[in-house]
């Protein structure tokens, strides 16, 4: 950039978009990619709400160390556009293939474009390296923010339903956010649902309690009331994964560029794939003729 203003505008736009589109939903996506492990079994009645939250955080972080791979169907809607994708996880990152747009199968041209995109990822060392770097960075960021949960919030018991216990949370006034992402994370209140039998995180609903300003508002802000909802479930015996995501946030960058994000996702039809699966093998799975759009 040739000027200070352009540099700040680029920085503000990058931060705002990253905070809205990445840090909040992506962090929750990363932390909810739970895999099978043996949870600590401690009845909730014997621990404080904050202690229970700490145990759940510890378990979820432990479960991520078991790197099993899965294939699933992703249905998402953003800015009024619906898409269905097939996702296959590998040791090198996830590979996706677009199946339909707005409930319509891909055209011949779109199929060709998907073929080329998938092929590029399987044969290009630079594309693969970029995928691995992104996965490593996202995982590290997600773990760092998730570990802050017990310190960033004050939890209290708020009821339950069967094995599920509801914890309400609000910002901890004694917590000092170490980063911009952590500020967005901290300036929320809402509810966290815990499966006490398996000590797993079943849901997390949060909304911004106040306008979040960056650079005293000069670099932009996120509006009060922005919210997200995430759900996790035992999608197959022994494996927990994210099933739904809903995100709505608005704001401005440098008081000029309006930012608005409205996104919904559903994850379903989980199937285990080989733990040592490569991107090439994942592409072969995605290219099978039996993979078709299912918009029921």
- Over 70: is that where the pLDDT of 106 sits? yes
State the CB neighbour count (10 A cutoff) for residue 61.
Answer: 15
What integer pLDDT is reported at residue 274 of this predicted model?
A: 95
When pLDDT is cut at 50, 70 and 90, the band that residue 162 belongs to is confident
Q: What is the pLDDT of residue 289?
A: 64
pLDDT-based confidence at residue 27 (cuts at 50, 70, 90): very low
Phi and psi angles of residue 8, each rounded to the nearest 5 degrees, phi first: -65, -40
Closest C-alpha to 34, from 232, 269, 247, 268? 232
pTM of the shown model: 0.74
User: Tens of pLDDT along 35-74?
Assistant: 333 333 444 457 899 999 999 988 888 887 667 899 999 9
Neighbour-count burial of 6, counting CB atoms closer than 10 A to its CB (0-12 exposed, 13-18 middle, 19+ buried): exposed
80 conformational bin, left if phi > 0, alpha if psi -120 to 50, beta if neither: left
Closest by Cα among 64, 26, 44 to 241? 64
Q: What percentage of residues in the chain have a pLDDT greater than 90? A: 37
Does residue 116 surpass a pLDDT of 80? Answer: yes
Of residues 221 and 296, the one with the higher pLDDT is 221
pLDDT tens, 243-266?
999 988 888 876 556 767 788 999
Sign of the C-alpha dihedral, residues 279, 282, 286, 289? positive
Q: Which residue has the tokens 């995109």?
A: 117
Nearest to residue 143, comparing CAs of 18, 20, 30?
30
User: If DSSP codes are grouped into helix, strand and coil, which group holds residue 104?
Assistant: strand
Is residue 293 pLDDT above 70, yes or no?
no
User: What are the pLDDT digits (tens) for 117-150?
Assistant: 998 888 888 888 887 787 777 777 777 777 888 8
Confidence of residue 26 (pLDDT cuts 50, 70, 90): very low
How far, in Å, are 118, 126, 172, 223 from residue 123 at the CA level? Answer: 9, 9, 48, 43
| Arithmetic mean of pLDDT, 215-224 | 72
70 and 239 Cβ atoms separated by less than 8 Å: yes
């Amino acid at each position: 950039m040739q000027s200070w203003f352009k540099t700040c505008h680029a920085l503000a736009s990058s931060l705002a978009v990253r905070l809205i589109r990445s840090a909040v939903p992506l962090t929750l996506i990363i932390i909810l990619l739970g895999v099978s492990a043996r949870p600590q079994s401690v009845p909730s009645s014997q621990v404080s709400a904050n202690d229970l939250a700490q145990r759940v955080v510890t378990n979820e972080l432990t479960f991520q160390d078991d790197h099993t791979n899965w294939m699933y169907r992703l249905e998402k809607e953003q800015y009024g556009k619906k898409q269905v994708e097939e996702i296959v996880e590998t040791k090198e990152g996830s590979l996706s293939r677009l199946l339909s747009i707005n409930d319509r199968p891909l055209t011949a041209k779109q199929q060709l474009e998907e073929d080329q995109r998938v092929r590029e990822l399987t044969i290009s060392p630079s594309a693969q390296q970029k995928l691995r770097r992104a996965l490593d960075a996202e995982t590290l960021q997600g773990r760092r923010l998730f570990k802050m949960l017990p310190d960033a919030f004050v939890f209290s018991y708020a009821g339950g339903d069967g094995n599920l216990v509801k914890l309400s949370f609000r910002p901890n006034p004694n917590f000092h956010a170490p980063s911009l992402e952590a500020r967005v994370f901290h300036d929320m209140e809402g509810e966290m649902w815990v499966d006490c039998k398996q000590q797993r995180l079943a849901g997390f609903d949060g909304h911004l309690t106040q306008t979040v300003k960056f650079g005293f508002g000069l670099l932009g802000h996120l509006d009060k009331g922005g919210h997200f909802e995430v759900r996790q479930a035992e999608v197959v015996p022994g494996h927990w994964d994210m099933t739904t995501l809903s995100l709505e946030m608005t704001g401005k960058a440098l008081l000029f560029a309006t930012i608005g994000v409205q996104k919904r996702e559903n994850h379903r039809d989980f199937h285990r794939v080989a733990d040592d699966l490569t991107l090439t093998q994942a592409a072969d799975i995605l290219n099978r003729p039996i993979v078709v759009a299912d918009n029921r």
